[in-house]
Structure 1
Amino acid sequence: MHGRWFATETSWACSTQTAMLYLAVSDTADPRSTWHIFQLSFNELPDYPALAVSSDKVVLSANLFPFSGSGAPGCFANSFDRGVFGAIDLAPLLATPSSPGTFTYSGQYFNGFSWRPAGDPTSSTVYAVAENVAGVGGGVLSGSVSGTQAAKNLTFSTPYDLTAAGKAAAFALPPAPEQQGSPATIAGAVDERPTDAVWAGGHLWFVATAPCTPSGDTQARDCVRLVELGTGTATPTVQQDFEIADSGFDDFMGAIGVSGVGALIVVFSQSSPTSFVTTYSRVQEPGAATATLGAPLRIEQGLGTYAGTRWGDYVLLSRDPAEPTAIWQADEYPTAGGGWATTVSQLLVAATYVALPSPARILDTRAAVGLSGPFVDHRPRTFQVTGRGGVPAGAVAITGNLTVTGQQAAGYVSLTPTPLTSPPTSTLNFPLKDNRANGVTTPLGLGGTLSATYVGGGAASSTQLVFDVTGYFVPALAGTTYTPLPPARILDTRSSLGLAGPFVAGVPRAFAVAGRGGVPDGAVAVTGNLTVVGQNAAGYVSLTTQSTSTPGTSTLNFPLGDIRANGVTMALGTGADLGKIWATFISGSPGTTTQLVFDVTGSYVAGPSGLRYVPLTPVRALDTRSGNGLVGPFADHVPRALAVAGRVNIPAAATAVTTNVTVVGQDAAGYVSVTVGPEADPCTSTLNFPLADIRANNAAAPLGDGTTVPACSTVAPAKGTLSATYAAGTSGSTTQLVIDVTGFFIPASF
């Protein structure tokens, strides 16, 4: 939310019968950074606080309980007085004044119990639900607040009772959940109140614990009730109202969230007479049928019988302000000693891939496509991706090709989901006077945008940028899944592999991909590495799905006398070109030629059999210069393994990663090969480079499984590792290596 984290906390003093409601706001998108704290005084206890953030305000709510004496802990009455539901203007909170401070709070008091507000940074209005404790007992109340104090138009709607209107069933008291051991139930563990709410895209969702009899069961259980309300009409309408119900189990204390790309996530506790209380999550992906959720994923296993008399009150979900696909959850679980502990974790929704039938140019600053005018040193700029070039709204990441041209100084460009003046990772490194490209797999920011920063030779330096998109990832059931492959060479025109003889300028040629190098016949897209060698003129190569002598996009740009490679992710041809890739060499001189090499590293197929993708804000996993990952440079023909899974936000279940590999400080020309296992004499190459050139290339890299020996290796690599080898023409030569990770692949069932 606005690149910040928000949190609430309550404290009270029995001796003075006063209480404080605190609001904490982080100074950055990193919750480990500094925070500023604001406070609001009450003469009643503000219990069960909740907050929501909109485009212009923060809404806070709480249940107020009156003080009844001075002795702790029973210094307040166990009787609900009223609910408070109020707003604070956002702008002063983001200005980070001295901490602690007070804030101006404009509140309303209602009969609603446990108001759960829900907002979104794209809208001013905050919606909320509560339990009606007057009128129709247990009715579902909804309300909203719009406007700001500064504009003097802050408006609270009159609460609307959906139960009284016949639109929604009332809240109902659930039974005490059962658990393994003694006590066999958790007395007073839960009640019927709404426990969480979220609003996105004109829809308000809330959850509560409700009694129900699951299918196949014979008794009432705790069930997590999920209700979706449409907020686009004068009064809310019920879109979905269903339950998470499991025969023989109690499901209770739910929380709900929507990721930045529309995936609905529910976290809840589950127990039974034969199991301890355990935390689970379930997801409703965009495009899924109503009233359905994906299979449960266990988050935290309970360790013992809970000896207390309440459970929870708090289970929370919050969207990550830096990772559009991520939600953070906090929930309780029982410890082995009968107490409780809190588990906090990041939940990421995996995506499937859709390859575009043809690459599409969505940025060319030379021609004012996407953005107008060159990038200037250390000035990030953002361009829209979704809704252009065939990329739909809801895409979380894209594949494509970034090209630099017309640079006034050597440097690098970094692609990031949010604008960064001094980015910690790089995407494309380049010298002066060199049109250079690099394939990318990169996450998108909120709203489907991508940011780029040029880091060059000073404030006056600038460069033009071009970006061609080749496909996108969506967190939906539709799309294709990925199978990583040990790198396999399927084209080498020097040795007549795939095609015989060099490419001639302006003459497109096709080579077969499906059915070769481990790529199945039904593959619709591949990842790979394209290398140019032996060119007798500068120019570029364009990979396409159809024959064209005048391609509108480029894949690999190169000068004369430079062996150069670029990673690609692209669709395969269809119809008469089924399973093929077309390549065209373009130069300024007719009749010139070049040799081409293509190594395939993975394939995409329709259906759930392969892996799904989770994009990450780029993170550095290896920098041998600083000892990050591995210490010291790579030596000629000495393979080294890098632990990836379990580091830098990559889970142990990851089986492949998308990377950007950069070579720097080499003392001899050569190449680097990124492989599954250690290869002293690699069968393929990833990044070719001359002397004194900081150079990068994109690579989709499978990780070792701990048991399989790759074809060009002699040992099984350790699980969750990748290997790299530097091959040079001079024995004893060395190079430093940098690897940035932009995402990972996990099994579809994870």
Structure 2
Amino acid sequence: MRSRRLPISLVPLALVAGTFCLAPPTDASADAGTLYVNDRLLTCSDTAENRGTQARPFCSIQPAVDAAQPGQTVEVAPGVSYKGPIVLHRSGEPGQPITLEGNVSRAVTGAYPVVESTTATGLTADHVHDVVVRGLAFRGYRQGAVLTDSSAVTLDNNMFDATTTATSGYTPTDSGITLEGASADVTLSRNLVRFHPAAGISVGPGVTGTIVTTNVVEDNGGHGIVATDAPDTAVTGNTVSLNCGSGLVLDGSSSHAAVENNIVAGDDLLKAGSATAPACTDQDQPEVSVSAGSAAGSTLGYNIVHPRGTAQPYSWAGTPYADAASLLARTGQGGHELNTDPGTRLLPPADQSPAIDSADAGAIGELSTDFQGRPRVDDPLVGNSGTGDGGYADRGAYEVQDPFNVSLAGDVRAAPTLAAFTFTAQVNNPWNDTVSYRFDFGDGSAAQPAATPTAQHAYQATGTYTVTVTATTTSGVSRSATTQVTVNPPGPLTPYLGVESGITGEPLHVRATFDGRTDPWPVTAGTLDFGDGTAPTAGSGVLQHDYDKPGTYTVVGTLSDAGGRTATVSKQVSVGGQFVPVTKTRILDTRSGTGAPKAALSAGHVLALQVTGRGGVPRDGTTAVVLNVTETAATNAGNVIVYPGGAGTAPATSNLNYKAGQTTQNLVTVPLGPDGTVNLVDSAGSADLLADVQGYYTTDGTTPGAGYLDVLTPVRVLDTRSGAAKATVGPGKTLTLDLSKNVSAESAVLLHVTATGATGNTYVSTYTTGSARPDVSDLNVGAGETVSNLVAVRPDSHHRVTFFNHAGSTDLVVDLVGVFGADVAGDASYVALAPHRVLDTRYGTGAPAAKAGPGGTLTVKVTGQGGVPAGAAAVLVNLTGTGASANTYVTAYMPGSDRPVASSLNVTPGATVPNLTLVRVSQAGYITLYNHAGTLDLIADIEGFYTPSAF
């Protein structure tokens, strides 16, 4: 007997779209039958006498449910998490159910009230009737809901999600929704059920008259939907996918069932053993299985069944069937069935999906709205192959809606009052209805209807307005879009220009942000002249440019606005090279004839040294080279100057100063001439010269190992005179320095290395730990001397470098001053310059003509001199001390910062000592030099600068 099969308009409350979508009342007096729950209100109470009103709601769900009477609604505030579980003790009456309600619109999914607990079951009902539960999210329970011996209960629009429950606590019977005992006439509609270890929905023995409609059941460890010895079950319009077992099972004696309009799909990509769903051990079960005892009086049709792998789509009365045609031929079941990819999982079916407009609208339990509460609509691009009510209901839980949508674009930048703003609606309208428009400009003026998508409006007063366009099709579908517009008082055109360099890994690439952000009128035209002689770039916003060579350029921008005004703005930008370390290689030794004839260099003779093509320095893209230059066996005191090849006259600076018979060295960073050479000239007598390559600067951003510089405040990383490292380095011995606490991923480091207290003449070499020691020196030290030099070296993969001492014993002091890397914090590139003297206290250059005193400082301006621009991050300075009255050291650092515990130069009386130094520059463009003891003259020659990425 099937008298319980009522027409759809008479199905209990949750099945009528217009009923369950009713908005809640706005206050307690408007509906005395509503009890409110809102844990976020400080006035909430579970015990106060007047609890349950909007002003004093319940804090918890359970006391409100326990207080509810037939016909009352317990309204739970959305977007709040509540302590569970919930146990239904009370019953309603026919026509006056007790309703527990949270978020009634699945379109606002994040607004569900969440019910959480550590117990096994989220919702329990035992011997209750006439109850509706809708719009709640039960999360983390092994079992979402268990209804026992209950009738006329509706679970609608809920979420049963076990994702937060530890899988170790699962039992094989933990299903998402379980109906058991003598439960009857239960409706399960529009629920999302997933990630439970057993079935998604389980209808047990003795249960009758269940309607399972328009649910999404996915990713469960057992069957999707299973009814066992449960006659008169209707399974209609569900989307069932990705479950470990069969999608839909009628077992035992579940006779007189109706299975229509469902999408039942497996998937070869099941997440077996994942944290959210138990492992699938049997994936070859038929997707739809109807036992022999369930076949009697049951009907099956209008489903899309798409099994996984080799699984059969059907088993009817114990016999498998490979497709709907054979099932229909043998059993008469399966009419209008499809065995194809439905083109959907959780999302609505894709365009032209076979699920569209192909369902039986008259199926038992079929709803007039879908899983998201949206109405049934006719897709004009798909032929109607369904039956009942026009034949355009979709199979599965989702109904494809008109994809018509609208956005609002056009000129919505700020402008003065009375300026005409233009607004343009952009529509996506694949169903090709005629569209009309209505513009509301947000200023209180009358809304403007329009047959075209464009409208103009002039605002009379300043302010920020929300503009709304509503587009409506002839079939009655409306969509709206908004934007904001700011109306300013009249004001000046003030262009903005910001320039970034080196941001793409290409050192000569710049990106400019150019606009009139302070202009009350829209910008109508703009050009940027990047200052290198190329044609200006038209446009505004973000513009990009590539320079041909390193240097400092003046970028000039010109903007015009809709007010007919024009203004310019300019900014300097510097682009330079990235540093590439190489295995240290000797490319010049006049003692042996390496790189030049075998002969000491005579006074005034210019030695042209070929650099590119030797020592790992490429011919293309190289802008400057880093050389450790050594002088030895000089017949007189003098100096050595290193400068670019082809530059003509040597600059009035020096790189190296020496005494007769002395061996000295200094690190030099020098631009290359057009032919890849540098010149070396000795000022007096004769001397042998040596040059060792430590690296080079390149503008080729694809060079392996190339890196920008992060300029550091110098930090002492080694001192063998004290602390844990206290031990001199003996003859022929090495010392390995671990820099992992100071640097991470890098291509090279800049170290200021000092040898002191040597017991005999020796030299010190620095190289990559684990690599072969190069046959070069970084420092040459005489007995009792203190000698310093700047060293560029590549650490190994563990951030280690090794020091080798040739003879005798010596102490080593090492300061870390910079890090080169592909992605370092400073992101500074190098621009090599012709050497330029910015300080000489002997003659009053850059400071008064007076020696630096003990404990005193000199502040030296470096920007604006010799090509160093404002905004330079750091400079390479060849710092020289001479005429010292006592043993001393000099520290170079940025003004305004704490003086580091590090030395840049070590000077003894009677000696002239140079040392290349990296110094951070203050925003005002200065560096500071500190002298420790006695008096001495200081000389500073700029060799180049490092430029930050943004200006």
TM band (smaller chain): 0.5 to 0.7
**1:601 and 2:828 equivalent?**
no
Could you tell me which residue of structure 1 aligns to residue 363 of structure 2?
none
Task: Give the structure with higher Rg (CA).
Answer: 2
Distance in 2 between residues matched to 1:480 and 1:549, nearest whole Å? 23
Tell me which of the two structures has the higher relative contact order, counting C-alpha pairs closer than 8 angstroms and 6 or more residues apart: 1
State how far apart, in whole Å, the 1-side matches of 2:928 and 2:610 are.
Answer: 36
For residues 109-152 of structure 1, the C-alpha deviation after alignment (integer angstroms, 9 at most, x for no partner) is xxxxxxxxxxxxxxxxxxxxxxxxxxxxxxxxxxxxxxxxxxxx
For the 8 Å contact 1:386–1:394, the answer to whether it is kept is no
Matched position secondary structure for 1:370: coil
Instruction: Choose the corresponding residue for 1:620, options 837, 851, 856.
Output: 837
Cα deviation for residue 412 of structure 1 reads: 0.7
CA contact (8 A) 1:303 1:335 kept: no
Of residues 727, 742, 748 in structure 2, which corresponds to 1:501?
Answer: 727
Q: 1:213-252 alignment to 2 at 5 Å?
A: none
Question: Hey, what does 2:759 align to over in structure 1?
Answer: 536
Aligned mates of 2:528, 2:794 — CA distance in 1: 49
- Corresponding residue number in structure 2 for 1:375: 601
CA shift for structure 1 position 644: 2.4
**Could you say what secondary structure the match of 1:596 adopts?**
strand
CA RMSD of aligned residues (A): 4.4
Structure 2 match to 1:673: 891
Q: 1:149-298, aligned counterparts within 5 Å?
A: 294-296=510-512
> Structure 1 residue 482: deviation in Å?
1.4
User: How many angstroms does 1:374 deviate by?
Assistant: 3.0
Partner letter of residue 442 of structure 1? V
Structure 1 pair 609–670 and aligned structure 2 pair: CA distance change class (3 A): closer
Shift of 1:359: 0.8
Check the 8 A contact 2:874/2:919 in 1, yes or no. Answer: yes
638, 660, 676: which one pairs with 1:448? 676
1:611 aligns with 827
Residue 522 in structure 1 maps to residue 739 in structure 2: no
Q: Of 627, 632, 637, which residue of structure 1 is paired with 2:855?
A: 637
1:359 aligned to which of 554, 576, 584: 584
Cα distance change of structure 1 residues 490 and 280 upon mapping to structure 2, 3 Å threshold: closer
Seen in structure 2, the aligned counterparts of structure 1 residues 397 and 293 have a Cα distance that, compared at 3 Å, is closer
Q: Deviations over 1:525-562 (max 9, x none)?
A: 21121111111101110111135896401000011121
Count of matched residue positions in the alignment of Structure 1 and Structure 2: 447
Please report the TM-score for the alignment, with normalisation by the length of structure 1: 0.52
Q: How has the CA–CA distance of structure 1 residues 626 and 346 changed in structure 2, closer, same or farther, with 3 Å as cutoff?
A: farther
Instruction: Give 1:341 shift.
Output: 11
- Cα–Cα, structure 1 residues 673 and 293, in superposed 2: closer, same or farther, change >3 Å? closer
For residues 298 and 642 of structure 1, do their structure 2 counterparts lie closer, same or farther at Cα, with a shift above 3 Å needed?
Answer: farther
- Aligned with 2:624 (options 397, 406, 414): 397
Q: Deviations over 1:159-178 (max 9, x none)?
A: xxxxxxxxxxxxxxxxxxxx
Whether 1:490 and 2:717 are equivalent positions in the alignment is yes
Check 1:371–1:640 CA distance in 2 against 1; reply closer, same or farther (3 A cut).
same
1:427 aligns with 2:655: yes
Contact 1:615 1:743 in 2 (8 A): yes
- Distance between the aligned counterparts of 2:559 and 2:771, measured in 1? 64
Amino acid in structure 1 at the alignment position of 2:851: P
Once the two structures are overlaid, the 10-residue window that deviates more, 552-561 or 379-388, is 379-388
Residue deviations 1:23-45, cap 9 Å, x none?
xxxxxxxxxxxxxxxxxxxxxxx
Note if contact 2:763-2:779 (Cα within 8 Å) is conserved in structure 1: yes
Give the Å deviation of 1:422: 4.2
Q: In structure 2, how many angstroms separate the alpha carbons of the residues matched to 1:620 and 1:330? A: 28
Aligned 8 A contact 1:621 1:741 in 2: yes
Deviation at 1:511, TM superposition (A): 1.5
Q: Cα gap change, 1:369/1:301 in structure 2, threshold over 3 Å: closer, same or farther?
A: farther
Give how far 1:340 is off: 10
Query: How far off its partner does 1:329 sit?
Result: 6.7
1: CA distance between counterparts of 2:651 and 2:518?
A: 41
Task: State the partner residue of 1:586.
Answer: 806
1:513/1:381 CA distance change after superposition, 3 Å? same
Change beyond 3 A, Cα 1:346–1:413: farther
> Which of the pair is proportionally richer in strand?
1
Question: What pairs up with 1:399-414 in 2 under 5 angstroms?
Answer: 399-414=626-641
C-alpha contact 1:639 1:678 (8 A) present in aligned 2: no
**CA distance in 1: counterparts of 2:498 and 2:722, whole angstroms:** 55
AA aligned opposite 2:730: V
Q: Which residue of 2 aligns with 1:93?
A: none
Query: Residues 491 and 475 of structure 1: is their aligned pair in 2 closer, same or farther, counting only changes over 3 Å?
Result: same
1:325 to 550, 568, 571: 550
Give 1:678 shift: 7.0
Please report how far the alpha carbon of residue 368 of structure 1 lies from its aligned counterpart in structure 2 after TM superposition.
Answer: 2.0
Alpha-carbon offset, residue 510 of structure 1: 0.9
1-side partners of 2:515 and 2:552: how far apart?
A: 13
Paired residue secondary structure (2:832):
strand
TM-superposition CA deviations, 1:452-486 (whole Å, max 9, x none): 121x33xxx22221111111211243421211222
Other-structure match for 2:172: none
CA separation of 1:680 and 1:744: change in aligned 2, threshold 3 A = closer
2:930 to 725, 738, 742: 725
Note the alpha carbon deviations across 1:226-269, whole angstroms, 9 max, x for none: xxxxxxxxxxxxxxxxxxxxxxxxxxxxxxxxxxxxxxxxxxxx
* Cα distance in structure 1, aligned partners of 2:517 and 2:837: 31
Identity %: 27
Following the alignment from structure 2 to structure 1, what is the Cα–Cα distance between the partners of residues 842 and 515? 37
The CA deviation at 1:365 is 1.9
The code of the aligned residue for 1:586 comes to H
Ranges in structure 1 where 5+ consecutive residues have no aligned partner:
1-179, 185-217, 219-272, 706-718
Runs of at least 5 residues in structure 2 that lack an aligned partner in the other structure: 1-414, 420-453, 455-490, 535-547
The 1:411/1:297 distance shift into structure 2, 3 A limit, reads: farther
Question: How far apart in 1 are the matches of 2:520 and 2:839?
Answer: 40
Deviations 1:308-366 (A, max 9, x none): xx9999997469xxx96337679796999x9999999986422222222x211111122
- The CA distance in 2 between the partners of 1:487 and 1:283, in whole Å, is 25
Residue identity in the other structure for 1:474: T
Distance 1:412 1:331 in 2: 43
